[in-house]
Structure 1
Amino acid sequence: MERRKAVRKHIQLTEMQISRLRQLSDFDGIDPAEHAKRAIDTYLKSQQPAPPPDHDKIQAQVSGSTDDPNISGAFWVSGIVNQYEFSGLILRHTSKTAMERGRISKLSIWDPAVREATNNFIGSCIVNYDRGWDIRPSLSAEPIFLKVKSLIESYIAR
């Protein structure tokens, strides 16, 4: 079983929030950090993570491909998978730097709505491979990544 890295987020409290934590602490004698921890734990327990999409229900299609002018025999493939878009650079031959030493040299899957809202490509990516992993697929993004990867591999096989 693969171990996933725990991610810690740092939260910056406002002066008013700090003041309210101190007031609450003075009232009940519990450390302000303990109050903050309890509030965060309560919030996280109330969140319902979205279930990963069923692999069979993921809709994916290649919308086009264009030759890469800089690499002989390589081409770019793009498409749509559910609400995401993807783009990948496919090499003519297998490569050490390609995904799993295959032919997919670059692959990005992103949310176009997030990209539009933030004007940040990397910030909108759920997966990004550029001759190495920049953003690995999370548990919820993994079914989408696997669907795109199998779609591209079947497209290459044609």
Structure 2
Amino acid sequence: MIQQKKLRKTIPLTESQSRRLHELSEFDGLDPLEHSMRAIDEYLRKQNIDIQPPKENEIQAELKNLTAESSTSGAFWISGTVDKYEFSALFLKLPSKSGIDKGKVSKLSIWDPQVLEDSKSFIGACIVNYDRGWDIKPSKIAEPLYNKVKVLLDSSGEQYIKKRRLR
């Protein structure tokens, strides 16, 4: 059997579901995990979902708010939107070893506000999360959104901070 990639999220089965899964496995001799994977694959095939990543030139991103980080001199929280998602980033005065690509962005979260509202789970709503290291790396679908935010922060972050300071 092919070694499956381990996922971070788990789906708990009810006692009845677990019992039926084991009964089915005893009946045909297949591993319960194999049955689960087949059921998931069949479900996804039936969904007929063709998800395409957005094109970067069609993505709208905007910086919205700036807040000084009280615990770190010269650091600012910058928030904004990227398409239907929201983001927040800790932008440092100087590049850092712990920053993304050893740059000035030390923390970055991109999340779906609707999922956050429905689930009340910030991490569950995140499509990207970097906190001095990757917690949730951008998927193929999230990568263009992440790239748009990263370029926006790298190219406009310092100007945005200077502009807001002058007000």
TM value normalised by structure 2: 0.76
| Deviation of 1:66 (Å) | 1.7
1:72-125, Cα deviation, whole Å (9 max, x unpaired) = 111111001111000001110111111111100111101111111111111111
Q: Which residue of 1 aligns with 2:42?
A: 42
Residue matched to 2:61: 60
Q: Which residue of 1 aligns with 2:165?
A: none
Flag the 1:57–1:20 CA change in 2: closer, same or farther, 3 A. Answer: same
Q: Measured at CA, do residues 20 and 107 of structure 1 come closer, stay the same or move farther in structure 2, by a change above 3 Å?
A: closer
Pick closer, same or farther for the CA change 1:102–1:136 going to 2, 3 Å: same
RMSD (Å), alpha carbons: 2.8
Bigger shift: 34-43 or 109-118? Answer: 34-43
1:87 aligns with 2:88: yes
- Equivalent in the alignment of 1:124: 125
Match of 2:164 in 1: none
Paired position in structure 2 for 1:144: 145
Name segments (4+ residues, structure 1) moved above 3 Å. Answer: 7-11, 16-22, 29-40
Unaligned segments of structure 2, at least 5 residues: 160-167
Q: Does the CA-based 8 Å contact 1:21-1:35 persist in structure 2?
A: no
Q: Distance in 2 between matches of 1:92 and 1:66?
A: 14
CA drift at 1:21? 9.0
Q: 1:6 matched to which residue of 2?
A: 5
Normalising by structure 1, we get a TM-score of 0.80
> Which whole-Å CA distance do the structure 1 matches of 2:115 and 2:140 have between them?
19
Distance 1:7 1:91 in 2: 34
Structure 2 CA distance for partners of 1:46 and 1:7, relative to 1, 3 Å? farther
Q: C-alpha distance in 1, partners of 2:17/2:74?
A: 60
Per-residue CA distance 1:41-64 (angstroms, 9 max, x = gap): 322223324110111111110012
